Chain A
Amino acid sequence: MAKPTDDHEISRRELLEGAGATLAAVATVSALEAQPAAAQSVTTNDTVPRTTIRVAVNGMRHRIEVEDRWTLAELLRDRLGLTGTKLGCERGECGACTVLLDGTPVYSCSHLAVWADGRSVQTVEGLARDGRLDPLQQTFAEHDAPQCGFCTSGQLMSARALLNANPHPTADDVRAAMAGNLCRCSNYNRYVEAILAAAASPRSRG
């Protein structure tokens, strides 16, 4: 009996398309406006649909050609070299890949790169401004919130979105807002503590 693949594993593309996306199958060629830091994944598969998008990442504007099947996480990590965004599951279960899309936290593993066209993305690399850590980064470090640190970028981005919307959350508000950010080291107490401390810090900006 022949069964070539494990059909219980849904591919990333099927998963995202199943979520209701209609993909633009436009292949255009263009130069990059901003030179990506790690632009070396060159596919030889010429039949892959590509789209040129405009996207601002951490304030830097890019005009960039993406494969329609790329996730936002792939664009950030593999094309732009922003590897601070982590991938824990690539199917919308863990929150390690959380970034802010026009200020709203999204799972970048479950968002196609083409969907970011015309929008702005903030990643963990864009949290510190002018060499100063975000108050959340400061309190995460002081409270020893990261153990292995793999969930940390996602926790930071969700927490930033929370504090932007609600500068003075209660511990329960924090737990509710952060429910989509798993931490297997289970340093949950410390993450909550650190977020409350950042909210209380004089430098916290809404």
Chain B
Amino acid sequence: MAEPITPLKTVGHPTPRIDAVDRVTGRATYSRDVTLPGMLYARVLRSPHPHARIRRIDTTKAAALSGVKAIVTHENCTVVWGAGGIAGGRQYVDEVKAITKQRRYAFNNPVRFVGDPVAAVAAVDRHVAEEALQRIVVDYEMLPFVLDHEEALTPDAPKIWPEGNLSLDVENQAKPLAQRRGNVDEALGRAAHVFEDRYSTQFVHNAQMEPRACVAAWEGDKLTVYTPTGGIANCRHDIARDLGLPDEKVRVVCRYMGGNFGNKNQNQDSDLIAASLAKLAGAPVKLEFSRKEDFIGMHGRWPTTQYYTVGVADDGTVDAIRLRAVSGMGPYRKNSGGMAGLDLYGCGNAEGIIQPAYTNKTVSGNFRGPEFPQGYFGIQSMMDDVAYRMKMDPVEFVLKNMARTAPGNAPFTNFTLEECIRRGAELFDWKRRWHPQPGSDPGPLKRGAGMAFMEFRSGIGQSSAVITLNGKGQYTLFVGVTDVGGGAKTTMGLIAAEELGVPLSKVEVVWGDTDRCPYSVGESGSRTTIMTGYAVIEAARDLKRQIAANGSPAGEQVVIASATPNPTMEGRKVRNAFGAHFVEVEVDVELGHVRVAKYLSVADCGRLINPLSAKGQMAGGAIQGIGMTLHEDLIYDQRTGQPLTAGFYYDRIPTHRDAPEIEVLFVESDDGYGAYGAKSLGESGKAPGPAAIANAIFNATGHRFKDLPITRAKILGALA
């Protein structure tokens, strides 16, 4: 059992956000709300074709339109978007960006997916800019295209890059992602039972509520960019590198942003396009993306096809897992294309070979636990099925087979997964809700229960914070966070107040501006609380030391304290958050409708800094998982390569009416790392959701749905 956690003085109590009033009065300023004197409005023209070479672009009619101030195309703007297509997902490493062969420009020729930017116009207002786009004449030479990621790897598939359709990795090699331990072939050879199956997952768009928008303004040779980013420091560095400027000549401001969910710790092409237009026009430019542009022009979760072979002993012990998989990256490899799951199981023999393939669809990138929900859906559906075939209760099967150490027998800093599962099963009343005989409810309304579990990386690392104290006794905390929705500003304020021993109201938080704030890791990878939170603790300690040595500041004096700690783990220890989701569904097999009747999310995310926001994060993740499992999908017309379901309505993200009550049980722990023992939180709440829901649907119906999303049509097709 984890040591019981008691709240600290300030940390650990449900606390409304320090900026809550701004958020409910409309005063919070998002990027598109920024207006500068003399500002122009910009729009982007995008490729209507999945793959085409631009023979000629004629912008003369557009330029002639009164009010048009600047036009950029691939001919006059050759900026490389370094974070837009990095081999192997190593988007933080400049050396990788420097050697990447398959460059993605702000404007590409050939264009490689419907939505690839072709031109952009800045004009006196958005209507003039939109009208100008209509006057740009583009002569396209159509090229053959491929949409399906498995088909893309067949020898006759159209080549999207000269090197072929297997995405190049960090070293520019066409090599799959490979992971191995033990000897899978041998273990499968001796296994008493061998099971094989195929699972697939779809492209799911991040669909954050705020469409991308960017305001760029030059003052001499200094560029200021107002843009939605969860990582102002990284975004600034990316913009500077792509435009050939020193970092200090770029200022990135993000006061508020309407959701992150992945790949907003870098720059966006919108930043580069707005900056280019602003330079050309000699005026500030606000670039706005429509919802459709945001859907097809940015990125979402990579679709996958996963083939599993699992070897099991008579007593239900898993002895071998083989995974062969393909992920669809779109035409640029914005991220890894990996799939999480093999590390969940303790079995000594496992092998995963994943081929990230280029396709002429919208680009894939990071979305809330980039490789987790889809990987977990595949492997935990597979294992759930194995449990039934072995006549075992899935919970018992998991407890028997889950990994209790990290790969290579590395110890966890603490291991609470078993406790999460046991307490969850009890609170959920698993024994009563789960049917030993799947699909056994009489009548058309069938209930059933399913579960899945998770581990989520919670590594420690470097970040920075600055705290000042003035003669009036006012503390000011400078942190490079944005607060993408998780509540980072408040979390950082709480940590500072705790360590300083003052109430939260005594700490002024300054955030979201690279000219005012030190480096922060950025709100991606669920790292801010752990890393920047720890830097805040160290800065507060430094301040206390200075005051102890020199006394408190008086009059106009200001004491400045800062810290950039780079903590390391003891020995080979691995640090993870753990958790399990328990779901009961009711499936109407005549209408094909799935209702989530009960949903319990159990998690050890270490110590909670602000339990109020933490709970919202877990619930939000679970509901996003429901959307992914039951309806969200970016569907393409196979003949034309056109995306058919771009936008909230056709993609079908969950609404108020789709959202059940999510119960959240935190199993808190303090392993001594991070900020007061806080672990990762934001992404982990979604990771096991789709697997748990799909397993519940199997338990209810007796039919194993192997392809996400599990739509009404699929349910009726299988069961009606």
Point out residues on A near B: beta carbons under 8 Å: 1-9, 11, 38, 40-45, 48, 67, 69, 77-78, 81-91, 93-94, 96, 123-125, 127-128, 133, 136-137, 140-142, 144, 146-153, 156, 174-176, 178-192
Contacts and interface: CB of A to CB of B under 8 A. Distances in A.
A42 B343 CA distance: 59
Contact of B208 (A44, A69, A148, A152): A148
B257 A148 contact: yes
Contact of B25 (A42, A127, A150, A179): A127
Nearest to B19: A149
Nearest to A139: B24
Nearest to B20: A141
Contacts of A1: 139-142
B653 interface: yes
A127 B24 CA distance: 9
20 contacts: A1-B140, A42-B124, A43-B128, A88-B291, A93-B649, A144-B487, A146-B20, A147-B486, A147-B617, A148-B259, A150-B258, A151-B209, A179-B657, A184-B259, A185-B259, A185-B616, A185-B620, A186-B624, A187-B616, A190-B616
B291 A149 contact: no
A90 B142 CA distance: 31
Interface of B: 16-17, 20-21, 23-30, 32-33, 35, 37-39, 41, 45-49, 65-67, 114, 124-125, 127-128, 130, 133-142, 207-211, 256-261, 290-292, 484-487, 612-613, 616-617, 619-624, 627, 642, 647-649, 653-657, 659, 661-662
Nearest to B33: A83
Contacts of A5: 45, 48, 133-134, 136
Contacts of B208: 148, 150, 184
Given A93-B647, A185-B620, A9 B292 contact: yes
Nearest to A146: B23
Contact of B258 (A6, A148, A156): A148
A148 B484 contact: yes
A8 B23 CA distance: 35
A176 to B, nearest CB: 7
A83 B620 contact: no
A46 to B, nearest CB: 8
Nearest to B213: A87
A184 B536 CA distance: 30
Contact of B24 (A9, A137, A186): A137
A191 B30 contact: no
Contacts of A3: 48-49, 138, 140
B656 A191 contact: yes
Instruction: For the complex of A and B, list the 5 residue pairs with the smallest distance between their C-beta atoms, beginning with the closest.
Output: A84-B26, A150-B258, A148-B485, A186-B623, A188-B659
B632 to A, nearest CB: 11
A165 B149 CA distance: 51
B25 A125 contact: yes
A145 B370 CA distance: 26
A152 B24 contact: yes
A6 B646 CA distance: 13
Contacts of A83: 26, 29-30, 32-33
A142 B283 CA distance: 42
Contacts of B133: 5
Nearest to A188: B659
A174 B659 CA distance: 12
B128 A181 contact: no
Contacts of A11: 130
Contacts of B661: 189
Contacts of A48: 127
Contacts of B137: 2, 4
B115 to A, nearest CB: 8
Contacts of A144: 16-17, 20, 487, 612-613, 616
A151 B208 CA distance: 10
A69 B126 CA distance: 11
Contacts of B49: 3
B486 A84 contact: no
Contact of A148 (B65, B138, B210): B210
A88 B21 contact: no
A159 to B, nearest CB: 11
A128 B620 contact: no
A54 to B, nearest CB: 23
A128 B25 contact: yes
